[in-house]
Amino acid sequence: MIDDPWLMVRDICERYRIVIEYNRRMVKTSPGRPVDLSKDRDILAAGRALLFESGPQAVTMEAVARQAGVSKPTLYRRYANRDELLAAVAMNESDSMAGRFRVTPGSIDDMRHALVDFGCRLTRFLLSSDHIRFIHALGASTGMPQATRESIFRHGPLATRDRLAEWLDKANEAGLLRCNDPACSAEKFLGMLMGLDLVRTLYHVHPPRDVEALNAHVQGTVDDFLTLHRSD
């Protein structure tokens, strides 16, 4: 597992901000009654823990309520069903990594910094024990509905790609780089970052890179990507 304390602290802060923003839109409260953000945070943390430890089938409304220490009515006020809860967990994971792409880059240096930060977050996540367990549990969940798989993919990996593509499109419009097909370029960048690491997790083979080597891989990938899309 790749471990960088500074990035871990930033991830925690980013997750808390995401919880606040998401539940301001989702939670139904009585007039004059403040939203208990600690419950929102605990619910998403419980859903994430169950998802990454035991797979999607372990994420039930009963199990999440029990692990989060909240009542079922409290949980149902926020999420109508299990699918909404799974979508929220996947969305929260995506937002925690791609949050920097909310800000339009002002220069190539801004772009490089944002892409390196994102790349470090993503590769650290892909090589984490949480993600490796999730991939193996997902493969073993033969009875899981296809709609559930598609929802997790749509609100997680696909949402991450789409957010990166929108950001690249804005950079293209600003003349910072040449990117005629942002979605294709975003997917290409993700593939360059992952390399064979995801395949290694499927084969139960741990990548031999340490933190320093992984950071060098990310920085080199970003430089290659920006060179490929350099504006002439």
pTM: predicted TM-score of the whole model, two decimal places:
0.80
- CATH number at 153 reads 1.10.357.10
Integer Cα distance of 58 and 29 in angstroms: 28
How do residues 88-114 score in pLDDT, each as one tens digit? 999 999 998 888 898 899 999 999 999
Integer Cα distance of 132 and 201 in angstroms: 6
Range of the domain at 61: 5-228
Integer Cα distance of 96 and 49 in angstroms: 15
Choose between 142 and 28: higher pLDDT: 142
Integer Cα distance of 84 and 90 in angstroms: 10
Alpha-carbon separation of residue 186 from 93, 129, 170, 222, 229 (angstroms): 18, 25, 13, 12, 11
Domain count, the chain: 1
> What spatial distance separates the first Cα and last Cα of the chain, rounded to whole Å?
40
DSSP 101: G
